[in-house]
Amino acid sequence: MKIKSLKLREAHKGSANASFCSILWDLNAHHLVTASSSEPSISIHDPLLPSNPPRVLRHHRDGVTALALSPNSTCLSSGSIDHSVKLYKFPGGEFETNITRFTLPIRALAFNKSGSMLAAAGDDEGIKLINTIDGSIARVLKGHRGPVTGLAFDPNGEYLASIDSIGTVIYWELQSGRTLYTLKGVAPDTGSDTSILNVLSWSPDGETLAVPGLKNDIVMYDRDTAEKLFTLRGDHTQPICFMSWSPNGKYMATSSLDKQILIWDVNRKQDIDRQKFDNRICCMAWKPIGNALAVIDVMGKYGVWESVVPSSMKSPTEDIPSSRSKNSNGLLFFDEEDEEDQELSMSGSLSDLGEDSHGESEPPSRKRLRKQSVIDDDQHEDVYNELNLCTKTEYRKKVHRINKESSDKERDGSRSMMTFRPKMQEAFQPGSTPPQPGKRNFLCYNMLGSITTIKHDEYSHIEIDFHDTSTGPRVPPMTDYYGFTMASLNENGSVFANPCKGEKNMSTLMYRPFSSWANNSEWYMRFEGEEVKAVALGGTWVAAVTSLNFLRIYTDGGLQKHILSLNGPVVTAAGFKDELAIVTHISDCLPSNEQMLEFRIFNISKGTQPFKGHLPLTPGSYLTWFGFTEEGQLSSYDSKGVLRVFTSQYGGNWLPLFSASKERKSGENYWVVGLNASKLFCIVCKNPDSFPQVLPKPVLTLLNLSFPLASSDLGEEALENEFMLNNLHLSQIQKRIEVMADEGLDTTPLDDEAFDIEAAQDRCIFRLIASCCNGDKLVRATELVKLLSVEKSVRGAIQLATALKLPILAERFNNILEERLQSKTEVLKTSLPRSKHDRNVKADVAASMALTATERSEILEPTFSSSSAKLSAPLLIKKVKSSDRVKFGKPKTDGDQTACLEDSREVNDAGKNAGPSQVKNLQTQRPSNPFLKLPNNQEEKKVEEVMSESQSQGPSNPFFKSSNKVGEATGIQQSHRPSNPFLKSTAK
């Protein structure tokens, strides 16, 4: 037999590894649709003009693993690794809706004959049957143990067949949702390779189900009894990975791991043609009009094999069963029962009705006769006569069923349209990963350590590991007979829980401390008729939230302390020291697919609830991580990659501090572990993975936190982001200082930390002021000067405005400085006597509470300037860091507190362009300017005279480290000014 050669063209670039790709024809063969699990896009090609670029749909954020077209080709559905199922108009490609969402990747989609129902399944447990008219979930079918990789609706509308990755096939009865037959181990086990998917397919007449066999063959099973009928076995040397019936059901195309496609004559059980390829063909589709087969390989290359069936044989589109060839009414979606009513009203004869029937299953006599017709074609005439007799019985069954259900439809019609709501997010445990057969998965992964488990036949094996083995205790492995699926971990112990399991259907909660003075310190709690949904740990307590919306709080010794009722089903929980945070649903999802969530923060030791409110999420997203920062700030992360941190500002609000869309590279997913004040700790997962594997050990990646700022007209987004982060950290520290002061605790360490942040903030603000001056944003510059903490930073801003020849702005800055000095005088008058006579520490703190950390340190230990210059305001006070006072007994130089300034040579440039009178005026009204370069030799004497005259009229400039000549001329000693670490001096 001659082997042909088919040239393929690239549809999807794909990755270096094999990926599962999909290909579909539309009803009239006008378009080809392709997708790849390595790309988030869908391509719609014109097969008549393959050189034209395809129409590309980009709505998924991860690889597309499944495609399905409604029978009338007006609706396209896609499933993805990003867990969503989307609907589009076809062929235009306009996005319609996210019709459902899973917690794991989708692997299979299928429309029923009428297009009124869409089946979706994947790595999650359960097959969702979705009503495409209103988007409601009609039923969830559960029974598979492995990921579901193939779905097929019986063309007669009674059954759904499904297959999983471990080779199990299940027949489902659609009306009741029950399992009719389960065929275990009849197909190959594909393992964890997601580029190979077990598939199955009904024959166009709905009488035979084709399944890949264990002997590199195709096995045909009977529709009604699931009995094995016959096999197609030929020259495939490796397992079958895909199959496709011709439109008339007379031929079948099969592709194998051996990179071959074989074309079969099903009745004769012989292969009639074949094709060899460079890569494995993972998907095929017969052309609905014509003798052709579209194929696509695992590298994303596609092509059309013309003249598949030899011209001497019957065409693959000849004698198509009428149930398959009948056109729809052109609606995007329509109800299956309505279609049946139309068929009854439009039928011309009983025989036509029998052929087009979508009702009850046919009598056994018809099935047996059909099986004989496959074997002996000479009995065709007798079969036809018997078939006409059977149609009368089938007609009566159909009329009875329609009459019975019509009233139910009228009653439920309006209700079904009103019940469309996206599915509410199920409960999850932060830091956990879904179980995988034969592999370890995380029950908990946080900043402290991890808890992993692997399931065996009768038990599971649990291990607890700490990231820092030098500080964390060594915890021996544990044999788990309860089947724990969630856990939480802190430095004191670990808590475990499982869903309802066993004959008594009871859920178990277990706490295991790492160290205890008593033996048998572990304890268990059992819940009958109640299931634990989330657990959390604190300093001295254990919490569990159950399916009855109960929050149960225990001491670490096992005492049942509190039981609270929550407002809705729990989503997740997290603990930190005395604080417990709970997230619950407060209502069904919005029609826009937005989750309606509420959070509560409890203080367990005080028995209070400090905060409660709505938990914000990015529109269309769901919560993926929830917990506390290392400093104790509550945080959340959603599926769109936005991290938020809760702050008590403005009465309690969530601040967006990170957006993955701006950080991650193509093909990356971030799995959050935790965060501190400045960094996000996560594990970077490569597509298609959305969570890490236990082995090899995951590597933590640190990402900078940043606000999602708009593009600034200054072009200084980095500085503005630093400014906002410093403000956030400073407000958090000041809040902690207030709390500690109220409790009578020493706040010195926090004062030092606030001092450092204020100094860093001044440097940041000064750079922003310079940008505003250069960008002619003078009002903004004035606003920024008011935010400076250190007076010398304000003087530096005055000199900056002077150097840039902005005298009006410099005057405004000078007024701000004088107002600040005046207000400080009033504070000193009231606070210094108090500190002299009143030894009460709380009273001193209360007197200076309105000031910044640096100003409080000034009041507690003032040091006056030794300068002899006359000021229009009181003498300035040097800033002293509290830790320096304690350790060294003297303040640090003011250079550590000042903003970053430029080289003093800039002073000369300004001096060259200014007359003596102008220089004199500036020197007498404002501090000396370090930005102005010194004049040349001819003008130097004039400047020296001016500066000498101004010595007694204005304050000395702490920012200006002058040259030797100017220092001698002015009589200003270098020791009278603190050195500026940011300023290089110039010496002549």
Render 420-466 in DSSP notation, one character per residue.
Answer: --PPPPPP--TT----BTTB-EEEEE-SSEEEEEEE-SS-EEEEEEE
First-to-final CA distance of the chain? 97
Instruction: Yes or no: say if 492 and 474 are a contact pair by the CB < 8 Å rule.
Output: no
d(C-alpha 881, C-alpha 929), whole Å: 27
Which helix (DSSP H) or strand (DSSP E) does residue 262 occupy? strand 260-265
- Residue 718, pLDDT score: 86
d(C-alpha 367, C-alpha 224), whole Å: 8
Q: Which residue has the tokens 């488990």?
A: 453
Q: Which residues contact 656 (CB under 8 A, 6 or more apart)?
A: 642, 643, 644, 707, 708
- Residue 421, pLDDT score: 47
- Exposed e or buried b per residue across 360-396, where buried means at least 16 C-beta atoms within 10 angstroms of its C-beta: bbbbeebbebbeebeeeeeeeeebeebbeebbeebbe
- Here the tokens at position 120 are 């979706």
Question: What percent helix, strand, coil does the chain show, rounded to 5?
Answer: 25, 30, 45
- Residue 678, pLDDT score: 86
Phi, psi of 640 (to 5 degrees): -85, 0
| Domains detected in the chain | 9-306 (2.130.10.10), 440-704 (2.130.10.120), 716-824 (no CATH)
Distances (CA, A) of 166 to 126, 146, 189, 193: 15, 6, 4, 12
3-state SS assignment for residue 151 = strand
- Here the tokens at position 20 are 């599962």
Q: Is the dihedral of CA 33, 35, 40, 41 positive or negative?
A: negative
Secondary structure in 3-state letters for 654-669 = EEEEEEHHHHCCCCEE
Angle made by CA atoms 679, 680, 681, in degrees to the nearest 5 = 115
- Residue 453, pLDDT score: 94
Q: Measure CA 458 to chain center.
A: 35
d(C-alpha 157, C-alpha 400), whole Å: 17
- Residue 824, pLDDT score: 79
- Residue 368, pLDDT score: 35
Q: Which residues of the chain have pLDDT under 70?
A: 1-5, 14-16, 322-422, 472, 501-505, 831-988
- Residue 832, pLDDT score: 56
How crowded is residue 715: how many other Cβ atoms within 10 Å of its Cβ?
10
- Residue 916, pLDDT score: 40
